[in-house]
Amino acid sequence: MALFDNPVIPGFSPDPSICRAGDDYYVATSSFEYVPGVPIRHSRDLVHWRLIGHALDRPGQLELADTVPASCGVYAPTLRYHDGRFWMITTVVDGIGSLLVTAKDPAGPWSDPVPVGIPGIDPDLAWDEDGTCWCVFSDDGIRGVRLNPETGELLGEPVSLWSGSGLQYPEGPHLYRIGEWWYLLLSEGGTERGHAMSVARARTLPGPFEPHPDNPVLSHRSTGHPVQNIGHGDLVRAHDDSWWMVLLGTRPRGDTPKFHGLGRETFLAPVRWEDGWPLPGPVELRAEAPALEPHPWPGEPERDDFDAEVLAPCWVAVRRWQPETVRLDERPGHLVLHARADSLDATGAVFVGRRQRDPDCSARTRVEVAPGGLGGLAVRIDEAHHYRVETDGAGTVRIAARIGPLGHTVAERAVPPGPLTLRIDVTSSVVLPPSVTAPDAAVPPGLRVGAPDTLHLGYETEDGAFEVLAALDGRYLTTEVTGGFTGRVLGMYATRGSAAFDWFGLRSA
């Protein structure tokens, strides 16, 4: 029996939507305030996924103002393959609203967006036998409307469909025509520990819908299961006629109430059919793989030497790419960042990073800061929650933390001026390594009780030794503390003048 490890897309990858084209599978996930928007991944076995691009990857498609709050932006896309084209519909919260783009190749290019004038969030697309397109969405319940997908025009007034078993926040609807039935799958209970999935069916649209008698059909609420918050699933029929679901979940750790810092991740679960109902689960960290030929892809590169003309798809920025401030052409073999705001607390800060995918990992970068500049390496949840190690290039390295309204320098040390290798290690162990012996290693033991992990911040000496200046409690960079919908992103920044980064490495421990 072949097994696979869940999550199949680790790290901040929530609200997965899946479609199949022949023997190929594609998943789109939410991106919130990060750009490019809507990552698109490709698989041939439902287990191994590679990032091939983004559906919203240029300013004409997605423009997020500095005023867009963290955890707003691009919510819950739906990805479908119909009539030889890929269709992606999503909502830009505090932005343009709902929009639809299409592509012949899911790797791009994708079309300019077509506005879709529906209220609410989480839009879905489904076509009936005569080609009529339905758009289903969440807006104080689940509603649906006929839609011209070419123009975004609504072909009537939205009507109520079915809004779950009565739990809060019915959302994430997906509508399917399977056999003689229309199935409506949705999430309810909120995206926290009470998250659950329910299903109903109808012979015709817009109903009436008949709910499954044992709704919700999937939830890990009030259990000790290592995977929690499961929901927002999407069904796919594999090319061997088996059925599967991608859905979001979390891996909370530490003491009660337990904490997750990687955000909501994409899991894979089998789907069985009983009495004409699709019943998903179980969702396990180690599970039986689909009976498809394994097709592993090369993983994301551990190191980027910034020798290409453009950044790889795994890199993201906050709210918008700024060509004048993020440069690969200014200094060969370097990523040069020019400060736009004087702090990572500001919404206009220049930050380029990668999602943390593994609970134990190490991020390193070699940076040279211009005279009078300031830049470094950070772990970010949002403007109010981040840890950073930074240098002024003139002989000072500093560890700083922002936790809600509190921000201060944790440690500081004099170093030789010039280029410096900065480093952040994340470890699920909360026991300090023997190397932390210096009296200025700021480790208040009382702050580490119940931590899911520890973040060690510092720099490397010329002989490669890791000088840890601070070991910080990881719980303050988790959703349970920060709120919101995103996970940790590790990356580089400049908050004064300019900083040139020779390379960046992100390695699983």
Find the mean pLDDT for residues 97-115: 98
How many Å apart are CA 252 and CA 478, to the nearest integer? 9
Cα torsion through 412, 416, 422, 425, rounded to 10: -60
pLDDT at 451: 87
pLDDT at 70: 97
Q: Has 15 been annotated as catalytic?
A: yes
Q: In the numeric block, which tokens belong to residue 188?
A: 């309810």
Count CB-CB contacts under 10 A for residue 409.
12
Cα torsion through 476, 16, 158, 130, rounded to 10: 180
- According to DSSP, residue 372 is labeled T
How many Å apart are CA 73 and CA 92, to the nearest integer? 5
Q: What is the pLDDT of residues 268-307, one digit of tens each?
A: 999 999 999 999 999 999 999 999 999 999 888 999 999 9
pLDDT at 436: 42
Tracing tokens 């009078």 back to the chain, one arrives at: 372
How large a percentage of the chain has pLDDT more than 90?
A: 93
> Under a CB-based contact definition with an 8 Å cutoff, are residues 238 and 20 in contact?
yes
pLDDT at 264: 98
- Rg over alpha carbons for the chain, rounded to the nearest Å, is 23
Return the bridge partners of 455, or none. 426, 472
pLDDT at 444: 52
Find the mean pLDDT for residues 461-471: 95
pLDDT at 449: 60
Find the mean pLDDT for residues 260-264: 98
pLDDT at 43: 98
- According to DSSP, residue 259 is labeled B
Classify 3-288 by CATH class.
Answer: mainly beta
Catalytic residue selected from 15, 234, 284, 368: 15
Model confidence, pTM: 0.95
Strands (E), 301-360: 303-304, 316-318, 326-327, 335-338, 350-355
User: In which region does residue 240 sit, left (phi positive, over 0), alpha (psi from -120 to 50) or beta (all else)?
Assistant: alpha
Q: What is the pLDDT of residues 157-201, one digit of tens each?
A: 999 999 999 999 999 999 999 999 999 999 999 999 999 999 999
Domains 3-288 and 303-508 are alike in CATH topology = no
pLDDT at 300: 87
Report whether pLDDT(447) > 50.
no
pLDDT at 125: 98
The model's confidence at residue 509, banded by pLDDT at 50, 70 and 90, is confident
For the chain, the domains span 3-288, 303-508
> Under a CB-based contact definition with an 8 Å cutoff, are residues 2 and 282 in contact?
no
Q: At a CB cut-off of 8 Å and minimum separation 6, what does 224 contact?
A: none
Catalytic residue selected from 45, 57, 171, 392: 171
pLDDT at 393: 86
By three-state DSSP, how is residue 446 classified? helix
Report whether pLDDT(203) > 50.
yes
How large a percentage of the chain has pLDDT more than 70?
A: 96
The CATH architecture annotation of domain 303-508 reads Sandwich (2.60)
Q: Has 150 been annotated as catalytic?
A: no
Calculate the alpha carbon distances from 368 to 217, 350, 354 in Å.
54, 16, 20
Q: In the numeric block, which tokens belong to residue 132?
A: 């009529």
The model's confidence at residue 438, banded by pLDDT at 50, 70 and 90, is very low
